[in-house]
Structure formats: structure tokens, C-alpha cells
């Protein structure tokens, strides 16, 4: 059976979009449950300004509260050197930086141009290399942008290539709005694969239009074997209020298994975590 990895992002990319206040104990319990499910990597924290992402203000407490499981890496989002230093102090095993494929999205979300965002990552990359920590690079809006419409695949390829050249060990391609059609995802991947090898790419597909699993199949055909997902479908798309956001981990695992891929996950434990996640959404 061919191996495929699900990179669990629910505790970070999922919970950061939930409106209700979720306590540290609940977050810790979710991460600990996920730790028993067989994930190689869990994105458990985000060291960004609590002014912008209040749900993630307790990330340091969450990292201090979890029970690390052997063989599981705990990752965090770090937009700048200050965030990186907090993640390092919290004991994270890897960090992620985030960029966008369009100027409009970059300015709206990062308050700077794409080029400026990449420049900001340089100190983070240098520190991570010195500390021996891997860095993941996210690229947002890889097919559709709320400000610029359809995204040029070449623009995605340039940003992905830049992140890889800076030292990112992996680049996650974010179909942020969940509107990407399989044929356009395929065109985007064809362009990106000219800059970054398939083994260094991950697919991050939102399910707003119900096409995430179809897009994962397109990515599989292009050689990708790593996919981001959020247990219980945690999170939502800020540009499509009320719509589904992150594709659910359990759905991705089931589709991959049906296609003959081994994720190494204990689906009973994943189901337990999904139930916890759904309860959080109802708060």
C-alpha cells in the first residue's frame, strides 16, 4: 500500500476561525486525542498577535499542557521572529510561515506586498536553520482570490519556488476559498511542479464548494502525498460566511483508503477527536 500523510491542522487552522471561546483544557484534550491517532505531524499552535487572532492567544499554554506522544511532531504558525522565538520556547518541533499568491490577498491579510512578506521570513528561516527546526511554507489563494479573482498559476509557482529556495522543507498549497475546480487545480499544480518537486508539496484544500476530495485526487495524480485537513471539519472560510471551510480529516482518510493509500491512522481515535471537534463548533 502506498503511504500518504494527513497533516492535521484542526487545532490551529480550524480553531482559529471558531467564534466561541474555547478553553485551554479543551484544546489540550483535542491535541492529546489526536496524538493517539497516528498522525506524524499536528499543527497545534499559532504564535501570532492575539489582537488579530484571539482564539490562538493561549497557544503557549496549550503547548505546555499537552502530553507529547512518541513519533509525533507538534508544529506552530510563526509570522515573524518574535513568533518563532515563542514557538521555540514552547518546544515546537517545526514552524510554518505564510505567504499569498496575489498582491491583493497579501496586502489584506499581511499588510504588505508578496515580496515584502518573503523578506520578513528571512530572520525566521535563519533562526530555524540555526536551531535545526524544519520550516513549512504556506501559499494562500492558489486558484481563486477574493480580491483578484482567478489566480495565475505562474504566480503560485513563483511564490512556492521562492519559499523552497529560502529553505522551506515543504510548501503547502492553500485553496483558501474552496472554489477551485479540479481542472484549474491541475493547471496550478503543473506550474508549481516546474519549481518544486511533488515530494516537497502538500495540498491544503477547503471544501466550501464540496470539491476538496476531487481536488485531492487531482493532486494525487500529480504525485502529491501530503494533505492538510482539520478533524471534524473545524474552521470556516472568512470570505464565505456560513460555508464549510477545511476539509474534514476523517473524510480525507476515508477517500485515501478507498483509493488504496495508507495513512497509518486509527480511525476509531480520529472519530473520537472529530466528535470533540464538532462539540467545539457548537459553542
Which residue numbers are catalytic? Answer: 237
From the list 172, 245, 183, 258, the residue with the least C-alpha distance to 214 is: 183
Q: CA-to-CA distance for 83 and 76, rounded, in angstroms? A: 9
- Alpha helices, DSSP H, located in the chain: 24-35, 59-65, 81-89, 103-110, 114-131, 153-166, 182-192, 212-221, 249-258, 267-281
182 backbone dihedrals φ, ψ, rounded to 5°? -50, -40
CB 62 within 8 A of CB 81: no
Cβ partners under 8 Å of residue 130, min gap 6: none
Residue corresponding to grid cell 517545526: 94
- Cell representation of residue 16: 482559529
Cell, residue 206:
477547503
CA 243 from centre of chain: 18
Nine-digit cell string for 137:
511554507
What are 106's three cell numbers? Answer: 497579501
Cα–Cα distances (Å) from 235 to 102, 140, 214, 242, in that order, read 22, 15, 20, 10
| CB of 143 closer than 8 Å to CB of 180 | yes
Candidates 173, 160, 204, 189; CA nearest to 6 is 204
Amino acid at each position: 500500500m502506498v503511504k500518504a500523510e494527513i497533516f492535521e491542522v484542526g487545532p490551529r487552522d480550524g480553531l482559529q476561525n471558531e467564534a466561541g471561546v474555547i478553553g485551554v483544557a479543551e484544546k489540550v484534550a483535542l491535541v492529546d486525542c489526536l496524538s493517539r491517532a497516528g498522525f506524524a505531524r499536528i499543527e497545534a499552535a499559532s504564535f501570532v498577535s492575539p489582537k488579530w487572532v484571539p482564539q490562538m492567544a493561549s497557544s503557549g499554554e496549550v503547548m505546555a499542557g499537552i502530553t507529547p506522544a512518541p513519533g509525533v511532531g507538534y508544529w506552530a504558525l510563526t509570522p515573524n521572529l518574535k513568533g518563532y522565538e515563542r514557538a521555540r520556547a514552547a518546544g515546537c518541533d517545526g514552524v510554518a510561515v505564510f505567504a499569498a499568491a496575489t498582491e491583493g490577498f497579501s496586502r489584506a491579510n499581511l499588510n504588505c506586498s508578496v515580496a515584502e512578506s518573503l523578506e520578513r521570513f528571512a530572520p525566521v528561516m535563519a533562526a530555524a536553520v540555526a536551531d535545526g527546526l524544519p520550516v513549512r511554507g504556506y501559499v494562500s489563494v492558489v486558484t481563486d482570490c477574493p480580491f483578484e479573482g482567478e489566480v495565475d498559476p505562474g504566480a503560485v509557482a513563483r511564490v512556492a519556488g521562492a519559499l523552497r529556495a529560502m529553505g522551506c522543507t515543504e510548501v503547502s498549497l492553500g485553496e483558501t476559498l474552496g472554489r477551485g475546480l479540479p481542472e484549474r487545480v491541475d493547471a496550478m499544480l503543473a506550474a508549481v511542479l516546474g519549481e518544486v518537486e511533488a515530494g516537497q508539496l502538500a495540498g491544503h484544500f477547503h471544501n466550501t464548494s464540496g470539491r476538496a476530495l476531487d481536488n485531492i485526487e487531482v493532486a494525487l495524480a500529480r504525485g502529491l502525498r501530503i494533505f492538510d485537513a482539520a478533524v471534524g471539519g473545524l474552521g470556516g472560510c472568512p470570505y464565505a460566511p456560513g460555508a464549510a471551510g477545511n476539509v474534514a480529516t476523517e473524510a480525507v482518510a476515508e477517500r485515501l483508503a478507498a483509493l488504496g493509500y495508507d495513512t497509518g491512522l486509527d480511525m476509531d481515535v480520529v472519530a473520537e477527536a472529530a466528535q470533540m471537534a464538532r462539540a467545539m463548533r457548537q459553542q
